[in-house]
Every structure is written in structure tokens, then in C-alpha cells.
């Protein structure tokens, strides 16, 4: 065990640059809820540890754990906004474009990370279909997700998916659909793509698509921002529910500030809060976790005491 005189610090407050913080979150209820696929919305105050959980998910090394993370620091929102569906409530107009983004993210994991795939003979045809669609549409097995809604993009949907082609404008070939036409058929595309993705994934493995830093550009008076965010919450819930029905451990995780969540108003919010939200809190009636205990865990990690996991506060101060 190190002596205090040999310790420079007990870590920082920035999850991006503090590995100690990541270790200290391993047993927090919110992180356990995510790993056990119970609750997928991590809601908490700024600085409460949401990004630590996000980064912990992405950096966890295991043969049966795969994750992809989105932060949107340089995401072309103006392209995504063009995917809004017309003629439906504002809170739902981005739901399907988020589902599409999530499913393409899952395809990246399937095609580039999980070496067990195809995991059996029954999944081979779905893996071939998934790879062919991705490569023929994006030119690579590992597409840049910031470019999937690029207005010049064309999707090769046929012969991979069965869709009502009559929804397309006259003269548009199913083998080359402009991405600007995607909102008209995206519900059918997502239905087919979701089945293909879920049938491709190994049911013995866990797959996570995580979203963080959704507060970038937050403006409580910007209705488009609120609509996009609500759409993501609804899309994540729907996909997680269907994955569970398929018996696949595929989980979309949302990390969001509590003040932003409070600003959002939509149908089923109460039900979503009750069933899907895990609050990341400290020193509150809703958790057993305290900031003092968090620091004691840090002490144990930094001082290197292998026999005692947590070093008591009084031993340091």
C-alpha cells in the first residue's frame, strides 16, 4: 500500500481524463441497471457521473461485450433535420430517423467488432444481407455515421428489403433511393433492417449503443431540439423492447441531464420515467451511494490496497 506522501492526487472530475473515476462507478445502481439491461435512461445533474458511465460502457473489455458511442460534438444536425417526417406530431417526427441511425450503428458493430458472427448457420443469410446493404449503400463495411443522412447519398434497398415501393415517387428506382426520399419509406426500411440486425447478433453477447453530451447546443426555447431529443428517447425504448422480444441483448443507452429531461413534454413520459429511467444521484433518499463512499473507493484504488477495496476517509484525513 502506498503512503500518502507518494500520492499526487486522487483523480480528477473529468470522466474523459480520469480512469480512477471510471473504476469508482462500477457498482453504482445506474451502471448496474444498464449492464443488466433493466433501465436504459441515465438521468442526473451536470457532473453527477453520466459521462463516466458512458465511457465505462465503451471501454469495458470482454469477448462478449460490444459498444458504440455517440457524442455529436460535430454532428451535421442540418442533415438530420431533413429526415423529419411530415404530417405527424412534432414529438414523433424524428423517431424513425433515430432508429435508422441506431441500426446502422449496430451494423457497424456486427460487421467490424464481433468476430463470432455469423454465430450459427441460421444467421448467415441475415449477415450477408446486412453486409451487402451497408457496402452497396455506403461503400464500406464501416461507414462514417455523420454522413449517413448526407443529401447526396443514395440507398440501395432492393433486393435486400421488402418494402412498399409504391410509396416512392414515380421514376425512383428501389436500387438507388435518394436519402431525401427516406422519410417516406423509413418506417418500412426500419422494420426490415431491425429484423435483419437482430437476427444477425449473437444472443449470448451484449451490444450497447450509447448516447452522451446531448446537452450540446441545448436551448429550452428550440422546439426542433426538443423534438429531436424526444424522438431519440422513443426510438431507444422501442428498439430495446423489440430486442427483448427477439431474445437479443441489444440495448440503447441514453445519458441526459435532469434539467433537460424536465423540459421535455410528450405522451407516455410518465410511463417512460417509471420504467426506463435510472437516476444517478449521491447522498439522496433514492440511493445508497454517497460522495464520501465514492472518495473512499478512490482512496483504495490510488493507494493500491489489494486487501481492502475501500480505504476509510479517516485513514486519509
Q: What is the dihedral of CA 121, 239, 86, 262, to 10 degrees?
A: -160
The model's pLDDT over 14-42, given as tens digits with 9 standing for 90+, comes to 545 555 556 666 778 899 999 999 999 99
Contact 66, 205 (CB under 8 A): yes
**pLDDT 10s digits, 118-150:** 999 999 999 999 999 999 999 999 999 999 999
Grid coordinates given for 239: 428498439
Q: How long, in residues, is the chain? A: 317
Q: What is the pTM of this model?
A: 0.86
Alpha-carbon distance of 314 to 180, in angstroms, equals 62
Over the stretch 227-236, which tens digit does the pLDDT of each residue have?
999 999 999 9
In 3-state terms, the chain is what percent helix, strand and coil (to 5)?
50, 10, 40
**Number of Cβ within a 10 Å radius of residue 195:** 15
Burial of 71 (0-12, 13-18, 19+ CB in 10 A): middle
Q: Report how far apart, in Å, the C-alpha atoms of 178 and of each of 107, 151, 154 are.
A: 21, 7, 4
Task: Kindly state the helix (H) or strand (E) to which residue 252 belongs, with its residue range.
Answer: strand 249-257
Q: Provide the mean pLDDT of the chain.
A: 87
* 179-221 pLDDT per residue, tens: 999 999 999 999 999 999 999 999 999 999 999 999 888 888 8
Which of 17-21, 42-46, 58-62, 261-265 shows the lowest per-residue confidence on average (mean pLDDT)? 17-21
Amino acid at each position: 500500500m502506498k503512503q500518502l506522501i507518494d500520492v499526487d492526487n486522487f483523480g480528477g472530475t473529468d470522466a474523459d481524463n480520469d480512469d480512477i473515476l471510471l473504476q469508482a462507478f462500477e457498482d453504482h445502481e445506474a451502471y448496474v441497471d444498464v449492464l443488466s439491461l433493466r433501465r436504459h435512461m441515465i438521468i442526473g445533474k451536470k457532473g453527477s457521473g453520466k459521462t463516466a458511465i458512458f465511457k465505462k460502457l465503451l471501454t469495458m473489455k470482454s469477448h462478449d461485450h460490444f459498444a458504440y458511442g455517440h457524442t455529436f460534438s460535430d454532428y451535421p444536425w442540418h442533415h438530420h433535420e431533413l429526415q423529419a417526417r411530415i404530417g405527424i406530431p412534432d414529438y414523433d417526427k424524428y423517431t424513425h430517423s433515430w432508429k435508422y441511425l441506431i441500426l446502422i450503428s449496430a451494423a457497424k458493430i456486427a460487421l467490424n467488432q464481433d468476430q463470432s458472427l455469423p454465430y450459427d448457420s441460421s444467421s448467415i443469410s441475415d449477415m450477408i444481407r446486412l453486409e451487402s446493404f451497408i457496402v452497396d449503400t455506403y461503400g464500406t463495411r464501416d461507414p462514417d455515421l455523420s454522413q449517413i443522412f448526407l443529401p447526396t447519398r443514395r440507398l440501395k434497398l432492393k433486393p435486400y428489403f421488402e418494402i412498399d415501393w409504391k410509396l416512392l415517387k414515380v421514376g425512383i428506382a428501389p436500387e438507388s433511393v435518394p436519402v431525401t426520399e427516406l422519410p417516406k419509406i423509413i418506417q418500412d426500411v426500419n422494420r426490415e433492417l431491425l429484423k435483419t440486425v437482430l437476427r444477425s447478433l449473437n444472443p449470448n453477447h451484449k451490444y450497447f449503443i450509447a448516447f452522451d453530451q446531448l446537452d450540446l447546443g441545448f436551448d429550452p426555447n428550440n422546439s426542433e431540439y426538443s423534438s429531436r431529443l424526444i424522438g431519440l428517447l422513443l426510438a431507444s425504448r422501442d428498439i430495446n423492447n423489440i430486442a427483448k422480444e427477439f431474445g437479443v441483448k441489444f440495448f440503447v443507452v441514453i445519458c441526459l441531464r435532469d434539467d433537460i429531461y424536465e423540459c421535455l413534454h410528450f405522451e407516455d413520459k410518465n410511463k417512460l420515467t417509471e420504467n426506463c429511467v435510472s437516476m444517478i444521484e449521491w447522498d439522496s433518499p433514492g440511493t445508497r451511494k454517497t460522495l464520501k463512499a465514492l472518495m473512499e473507493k478512490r482512496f483504495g484504488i490510488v493507494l493500491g490496497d489489494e486487501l481492502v477495496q475501500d480505504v476509510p476517509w479517516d485513514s486519509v484525513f
